[in-house]
Structure 1
Amino acid sequence: MSVLAAVESTTQNNPVLNISIFGVFVAVTMFIVIRAARNNKTAADFYAGGRSFSGPQNGFAISGDYLSAASFLGICGAIAINGYDGFLYSVGFLVAWLVALLLVAELMRNTGKFTMADVLSFRLKQRPVRMAAAISTLVVCFFYLLAQMAGAGGLVSLLLGINDRIGTAVVVAVVGVLMVGYVLIGGMKGTTWVQIVKAFLLIGGGIVMAVWVLAVQGVDLLGNAAANSPHGAAVLAPGLQYTNPVDFLSLGLALVLGTAGLPHVLMRFYTVPTAKEARRSVVWAIMLIGLFYLLTLVLGYGAAAIVGPDTIANAPGGVNSAAPLLAQALGGPVLMGIISAVAFATILAVVAGLTITAAASFSHDIFNGVVKRGAATEKEERKVANVTILVIGAFAIVGGIAVLGQNVAFLVALAFAIAASANLPTILYSLFWRGFTTRGAVWSMYGGLLTAIVLIVLSPVFFGGETSVLKTGEGTAIFPLSNPGIISIPVGFLLGWIGSLTSKKGSEDPRLAAEMEVRSLTGHGAEKAVQH
C-alpha cells in the first residue's frame, strides 16, 4: 500500500510546472550573482566579499550557508522516519553555534585574512601548517558537498518522477555545472547575496508550512504521527535510530564541536568589516537558525502524520523527500514546486559557499603560501582558484552520484566529525595556548583527519547495512559506530598536545604568539596580510 501511495504521490507532479519554477529561481539567483560580480576586482572581493557586509546581512548569509539540504531535507526526513532521534540533529546543529560564538567567531576574524589557514599558520611555520590546513579544508568541503549533491539528486528525481540511477546521475551533473557557474561568476559577493535571498525564502517557506501543518493537525499532531508510524509511540521517544548510546554520544560530539571547525562557516567571518559585526552576525545567525530548527520538528512530525513514513521511504529520493511530499499534501503541485525550488536554491547556495572555500584554500594556501612562498600575484591566485573550482565540481558530481540514497543529514554529520577532529583542536590550541607548536598543529590536523576517515571507511557507513556503500552481504563493519567523533576528536586534541610537548624548545617565536593574542583580542591589523 505504501508503494502505491508513493507512486500516486509522484504521478500528481507536473514536471513542466516544476521545471518552470526551478527556472525562475535559477534565473533570479544567477541575475543576483552577475550583478554582484561587477565589483569583483581584488582577492578581498573574490574571497571575502570586500568585507562589505553588515552583521545582520552576514547573519542571514551564515544561516543561508548553514541551513543546507541536511537541515531542510535530511532532518525533516529523519524526524518523519525516526522521530525523536531525528530531531537530535536539529538540537546538535543549533547548540554548536554557541561554541562558535563563544570561542572562535570574533577571534578568527581578528587574526585571519581569507582562510582558516591564515589563523593556524600565523605564529607557526607557514608551509607545513598551510598545507595541512588546506588538505583538511578540502576533505571537509568534499564530504559536505557529497551531502548537498545527494540531496539535489533526490529532490529533482522526486519532482520529475525519475526513479532510475542514470536519470538521477544526470540531475546531479546539472547541479554541479550550475554550482561551478555561480562561483566562477560571482565569487564570495555573489555567493553571499544568493545565501541571503535563500535564507529569507527557506525560513519563510518553513514558517508557512509549519503554520499550515498546525492548522490542519492542531494538538493531535504528535498522536497522529505516532499512529501513522510502523513504530507507534516509539517515534516520540529516544532510542529508535540510535539504540547504542555510545553511537549517539559520538554523533552529538561531532555536531556540537564540528561547526566551529567548518572552513566554509569560518570563512564567512572574514566578510564583515569589524569584530563587532562578526559578533552581531553570529547572534543573528543563532536566532534565524534556532527558529528554523524549531520548525523542523513540526515539519518532520507533520510529514509523518500527513504523508506517512512508508510513503516517504518508498518515494523517489527516499527519506530526503519528506518536506516536498508534505508540501504537496498541503498545497498540491504548486506549493510542492515552490518549496522544492527553495530547497534547490538552498543546495545551490551551500555548494557555492563550499566550492569557493575549497578554491580559496587551494589557491591562497597551497599555491601561494606553499608553492610560491607568498610571492604569487592576485591574478595568478584567481586563475588557480578558477581551475580548482572546475576540478572540485567534477569531484562533487562523481561523489554525489556514489552516495545517492543516503540521508543527507547523516552525510553532513560525517563532515562535522572530520572538522571537529582535524580543525577544531588546532584552532583552539592556536588561539589559547602559547606553547602550541608547528609539530603539534601538523600532528593534530593530519592525525585527526586520518583517524576520522579510516574509522568512517571501517564503519557501517561503508559495510553491512541496507544504506551502506557496500550493502548487506558485501562486507562487515569493523568499527561498530556510524560516527567516528567520540574517538577521532580526542585523538586530534591528544596529538596536538603530544606534538607540542615533544617539539624542540624555542622552535617557535614567542613574539608571534604574543602578537597573535593581541590581534585576536583587539582586531589590530586584521586587514593586513599575514606573511612572515
Structure 2
Amino acid sequence: MTAVLAQAQQAVVGDRTTNVLIFTLFVAVTLVFVFRASRTNRTASDYYAAGRSFSGSQNGVAVSGDYLSAASFLGIAGAIALYGYDGFLYSVGFLVAWLVALLLVAELLRNTGKFTMGDVLAFRMRQRPVRAAAATSTLVVSFFYLIAQMAGAGGLIALLLQIPRSDTFGQGVVVAVVGVLMIVYVLIGGMKGTTYVQIIKAVLLLIAAAVLTTWVLGRFGFNFSAVLDQAVERSPKGEGILGPGLQYKNKVDFISLGLALVLGTAGLPHILMRFYTVPTAKEARRSVVWAIWLIGVFYLFTLVLGYGAQALLPPGMITAETQNDAAPLLAYELGGELLLGIVAAVAFATILAVVAGLTITASASFAHDVYANVIKKGQPSPDREVRVARTTAVVIGLVAIVGGIVANGQNVAFLVALAFAVAASANLPTILYSLFWRKFNTTGALFSIYGGLAICVLLILFSPAVSGSATSMIKDVDFAIFPLSNPGLVSIPASFLLGVLGTWVGRRERFNSEKYAEMEVRSLTGAGAEKGVVHQGR
C-alpha cells in the first residue's frame, strides 16, 4: 500500500502502455459507432434530435449516460471519501432532482417544443428576443458544465499517462486533446452518434461501478457496516465522516447547494434536449423512469465506492488535490493495472459522452434559435443551419478547453453544482412560468432569464469558489465578497421574482389567449406536437 501511496502522490499509477492501449481501444470502438451514425444525418432533425428514432428505454439509458458525468463517478466518489456525509449530499440532490424533471417538465416540453428550450418559450411570446435569451442561457450553462467535465478529463488522463500535477503544460495538453476528441464526435455523429456513445458509456459505467462495489463489499464479507468502521479508522476526520459538517460548516451554504442540485436538473439544456429524441410524449415519460432507476442504482454504488476508497486506500492518499482520483485509485488497489485501465477508460467515456452532449446542445441552440429564427427569421436553409451548428461546436470546444485548463484540479462535483445553480436560476423559472402561468409574457421571460443569469454568474465570480480560499480556482487573490460557495439560495428565488416583476412591467403587451390555450392543450395532451413550433416572426 505504501507503494501505491507513493505512486498516487507522483501521479504515477499503473503501467502507462496498458493504460494507453485500453484507452485507445475504447476511443476507436466508439468512433466506429459515431461514423456509422453519421451516414443517416441528412436533416436538421437528424442532427439535433436523432430523427426522433430512439425508444423510451433507449433514450432513458442515454439520458442516464448524459447525466452520470465526471461529477457522478469521479467527483462524488472523491467527495464521499474525503467528506463522507457531506459528499453524499451530491448523490441525493442529483437523484431527487429527477422527480422535479419528471413531474414538471419532461412530458410538457416534449409536447410543446421541437428541438430546443427556445422553441417552448417562443410558442406564445415574441420569438426573436426570447430565442436570443434562451440561446444565451444555454451557452452559459453549457460552458459551466463543460468546465467541470474538462477539468475531470484533464486529471484522469494525466493520471493514466503519468503526468505530474506540477506539470501545468502537460496537463493543459491533455485537456486540449480531450477537447479535440469531443469536437470530432459532435461534428461527425450529431445527436444520433452522441446518443449511441452515451448508451455504450452508461452500460459500461454501471457495470464498472457494480464490479467495484461488489469487490469492495466482498473484502468486508458483504457487510457495509464493516466498510464504514474501517473508513472511520483510516480517515483523519474519524467519526466525522459519518455526520454532516465536514465540508459545509455553514448550514446556509449547505441549503443553498441542496436547492441548486434539486432544481437544476429540470433546467439543464442538454437534459431537456434529450426529451426531443423520442417519437411520443409517452416515450419521454418512459425515458425519465428508466433514467431514475439507473441513476438511483448508480448513486447507491457511489456510497460504497466513496467510503470503500477511504477504507481500503492508505491513510492520507485521498486529499483535496487527489479526490477526483479516488475511484481510479480504488480500482488499482483492487485489481491492479488492468482494472485501473478499464475503469479509467470508462470514466473517460463518461466525460466524452457528456461533453459531446453539451456541445451539440449549445451549438444547436445557437444555430436553431439565433441563426435560423432570429437572423434568418424562421426561413433558413436546413443544410446551412447544420453547418452553422457544426461551426459553433468548434468554437464552444475551444472555449471549453481554455476553461478546463483554468479549472483543472477542482472537484468536478462542486463545479457541476455551479452549473446546476446557473440552470436553475436562468432556465427553470422561465420554463415553469411559460407552461403554467397564463399571464406570463415576453418581458417577464427576459427579466427572468437575463436577470437570473446575471445574478448567478456575478455571485459565483465574487464567491469563495473563484477566489479567497485554498480550494478556489484562483488561489493568489481574494475578491470573494459573497459568502456562499453556491449562489442558488439567492439567485433562484431572485429569478422567480424577476419573472413576476417583468410580467407586471410588460403588462400592456398584447395577450394571445388562443396561443396560450393551444400551448396548454398541446403540453398536456400532446395533440399537434409533431407540427413543431409556429413561427411568429417577431
Give the TM-score range, shorter chain. Answer: over 0.9
Q: Distance in 2 between matches of 1:6 and 1:449?
A: 44
Q: What amino acid is aligned across from residue 363 of structure 1 in structure 2?
A: A
Q: Using the TM superposition, give the Cα deviation of residue 12 of structure 1 relative to its aligned residue in structure 2, in angstroms.
A: 4.5
Q: Deviations over 1:388-432 (max 9, x none)?
A: 011001001011000011000000000000000000000000000
- Contact 1:263/1:357 (<8 A) preserved: yes
Q: Secondary structure at the match of 1:313?
A: coil
CA distance in 2, matches of 1:483, 1:287: 28
Find the aligned partners of 1:12 and 1:265 in 2 and give their Cα distance.
Answer: 34
Normalising by structure 1, report the TM-score: 0.98
2:111 counterpart of 1:105:
no
Q: What's 1:414 paired with?
A: 418
Distance (whole Å) between structure 1 residues aligned to residue 175 and residue 509 of structure 2: 51
Displacement over 6 Å in runs of 4+:
1-4
Question: 1:32-58 deviations in whole A, cap 9, x for unaligned?
Answer: 111111111111100000001001000
8 A contact 1:205–1:339 mirrored in 2: yes
Does the CA contact (< 8 Å) of 1:247 and 1:482 recur in 2? yes
Letter in 1 for 2:265: T
Show structure 2 runs of 5+ residues with no match. none
> What is the identity, as a one-letter code, of the residue corresponding to 1:240?
L
1:306 aligns to 2:312 (yes or no): yes
1:318 aligns with 2:322: yes
Letter in 2 for 1:200: V
Residue 508 of structure 1: aligned partner:
511
User: Is the Cα–Cα contact under 8 Å of residues 191 and 349 in structure 1 kept in the other structure?
Assistant: yes
Aligned to 1:246: 252
TM normalised by structure 2 equals: 0.96
* 1:310 partner SS: coil
Q: Residues 486 and 46 (structure 1 numbering): CA distance in 2 closer, same or farther, change over 3 Å?
A: same
Deviation at 1:383, TM superposition (A): 1.1
Q: Secondary structure at the match of 2:470?
A: coil
Task: Give me the whole-angstrom Cα distance separating, in 2, the residues matched to 1:444 and 1:308.
Answer: 49
Is 1:357–2:361 an aligned residue pair?
yes
2:264 matched residue in structure 1: 258
* Structure 2 match to 1:52: 53
Once the two structures are superposed, residues 328-386 of structure 1 have per-residue CA deviations (whole angstroms, 9 ceiling, x without a partner) of: 00000100000000000010000000000000000000111111111111111011111
Q: How many residues align?
A: 529
Distance 2:184 2:77 in 1: 29
What one-letter code is carried by the residue in structure 2 that aligns with 1:102?
L
Whether 2:453 is the aligned partner of 1:449: answer yes
Mapped partners of 2:314, 2:267: distance in 1: 36
Alpha-carbon separation, structure 1, partners of 2:115 and 2:6: 47
Cα offset, 1:476, TM superposition: 4.3
After TM superposition, give the deviation of residue 69 of structure 1 in Å. 0.2
Preserved CA contact (<8 Å) 2:261 2:420:
yes
Q: Tell me how far 1:198 sits from its aligned partner.
A: 0.4
CA distance in 1, matches of 2:407, 2:336: 30
Counterpart AA for 2:268: L
What residue number does 2:43 align with? Answer: 42
Asked whether the 8 Å contact 1:213–1:299 carries over to 2, the reply is yes
How far apart are 1:501 and its partner, in Å?
1.8
Matching of residue 5 in structure 1 with residue 5 in structure 2: yes
Return 34-43 or 85-94, whichever deviates more.
Answer: 34-43
Q: Choose from 426, 434, 442 the match for 1:438.
A: 442
In the other structure, the counterpart of 1:162 is 163
User: What residue number does 1:70 align with?
Assistant: 71
CA distance in 2, matches of 1:235, 1:225: 8
Tell me, yes or no, if the aligned pair for 1:85 and 1:239 is still in contact at 8 Å. Answer: yes
What secondary structure sits across from 2:220 in the alignment? Answer: helix
Residue 26 of structure 2 aligns with which residue? 25
- Counterpart-to-counterpart distance in 1, 2:448 and 2:204: 39
SS in 2 for 1:470: coil
Q: 1:152 to 1:506 in 2, by over 3 A?
A: closer
Q: Distance in 2 between matches of 1:418 and 1:12?
A: 36
Q: Contact 2:4/2:13 (CA < 8 Å) preserved in 1?
A: no
Residue 343 of structure 1 aligns with which residue? Answer: 347
Query: Are 1:405 and 1:467, in contact at CA under 8 Å, matched by a contact in 2?
Result: no
> What whole-Å deviation, never above 9, does each CA across 1:261-317 have from its counterpart, x for those lacking one?
000000000000001100001000000000000000000000011114621328xx6
Deviation at 1:469, TM superposition (A): 2.2
CA 483–72 in structure 1, closer or farther in 2 if over 3 Å, else same: same
Q: Which moved more, 1:9-18 or 1:227-236?
A: 9-18
Mapping of 1:183-332 within 5 angstroms?
A: 183-218=186-221, 219=223, 220-308=226-314, 310-313=316-319, 318-332=322-336
Aligned-pair identity (%) = 66
- Structure 1 vs Structure 2 CA RMSD: 1.4
Find out whether 1:179 has 2:182 as its counterpart.
yes
CA–CA distance in structure 1, aligned partners of residues 375 and 526 of structure 2: 29
Could you say what secondary structure the match of 2:530 adopts? coil
Aligned partners of 2:5 and 2:314 also within 8 Å: no
How far apart, CA to CA, are the structure 2 residues paired with 1:266 and 1:167? 35
Cα separation, partners in 2 of 1:122 and 1:299, compared to 1, 3 Å: same
Note if 1:91 corresponds to 2:95: no
Report the Cα distance in structure 2 between the residues aligned to 1:2 and 1:373, rounded to whole angstroms.
65
The reply to whether residue 475 of structure 1 matches residue 478 of structure 2 is yes
Question: CA, structure 1 residues 8+157, in 2 after alignment: closer, same or farther (shift >3 Å)?
Answer: closer
